[in-house]
Amino acid sequence: MISRVAILGTGLIGSSFALALKQRATGLRIVGCDRPEVLARARAAGIIDDAESNPVEAIAGCQLILLAAPVQANLELLRTIAPHLPPDALVTDAGSTKANIAALAVELFGGDSLRRFLPGHPIAGKEVSGVEHADGNLFVGASWVFTPEQGLHALIAPEFSRGLHAEFMRLLEAIGARIVVTTPAEHDRVLAYTSHLPQLVSTALAATLLDAMQNQPGLRELSGRALREMTRLAASDPRMWSGIASQNRANLVSALFEMEHALARLRLSLGTEEFTHEFERARRFDFDSTPASEESTDPPKF
């Protein structure tokens, strides 16, 4: 029975999760763990009940522990708290890369690591960070991906379809999230294209504009919605993204290479029929119409 939840890292995701639980679940006490000044703001805003800057102290008496720091910090947090976990606590995380932390959990907890650690990733976020932007509706309609090494089948085993794992997923459904299951490797490969590449493309576009137009007078008057929209993500937190980029390096090298080639193809075809052909082809991309597999769309039934 989950009655006390530790959230290690009360940035945008951690504090939005806390706020969503406050708004849509009952009987939970939430302890936040972060730097003291961040915790003071989170408590003042009524987002957390208790504040504790030491992660080992923070998890005491908790049944559910969410790691919601940047991905590199999540690895360190998991290593730090592992020897001190309350006997029946379930640890999960919210990081954008899954292979490294899933491997660390096996190293720390052995073959049945899934009993102690459930690798997760809510596909939600903003270009702004911090507890000030906490949003209790952030996960409404968003996918919350879990990545047990063996895929969906591991999660529907009887030991997980009752107890803490199931209770946690009911909480996620209560805050509006849709549960999706895949493997760590598949997650990291797909997210390299659907999330990490778009972020780096936005960053590269902003860098290009900065270099070329730095002192351009009247740039705003000569820009439309397109530029604003395409560079919005460039405001994202570098500390968060350097960890993601580092941990998903191999997949991102491929994705960036392919993107560079796609730009070069357009550049070399400017003014030719091939340009129209390439443009027409890209226009067919529509991820809304991509058929979803049964494994990815049907949430496990608890």
Minimum CB–partner distance for residue 56 and a second copy (Å)? 29
- Binding a second copy by CB under 8 A: which of 27, 83, 158, 271? 271
The reply to whether 201 sits near a second copy by the rule CB under 8 A is yes
Q: Per CB under 8 A, does 200 bind a second copy?
A: yes
Q: Which string of b and e fits 126-154 if b means at least 16 CB within 10 Å?
A: beebebeebebebbeebbbbbbbbebbeb
Question: Helices 249-269 and 197-213, interaxial angle, to 10°?
Answer: 50
Name, in order, each residue with C-beta under 8 angstroms of 262's C-beta and a sequence gap of 6 or more. 282
175 is an interface residue for a second copy by CB under 8 A: no
Q: Indicate which single residue of 230, 300, 301, 302 sits in contact with a second copy (rule: CB under 8 A).
A: 230
C-alpha to C-alpha distance for 122 and 145, rounded to whole angstroms:
6
Residues 46-105 that bind a second copy (CB under 8 A): none
Evaluate whether 109 touches 136 at the Cβ level (below 8 Å).
no
Q: For residues 64 and 168, is the Cβ–Cβ distance under 8 A? A: yes
Q: Which is nearer to a second copy, 63 or 100 (CB)?
A: 100
Which residue in 23, 54, 150, 297 binds a second copy (CB under 8 A)? Answer: 297
Restricting to residues 119-148, name those near a second copy by CB under 8 A: 123-125, 142-143, 145
| Residue 41 CA, distance from chain mean position | 23
Q: Given the rule CB under 8 A, which of 28-36, 56-64, 83-91, 274-282 is the region that contacts a second copy?
A: 274-282
Quick one: which of 53, 129, 137, 296 contacts a second copy (CB under 8 A)? 296
- Token pair 């951690």 is found at 14
> Could you say which residues in the range 237-256 bind a second copy, by CB under 8 A?
238-239, 241-242, 245-246, 249, 252-256
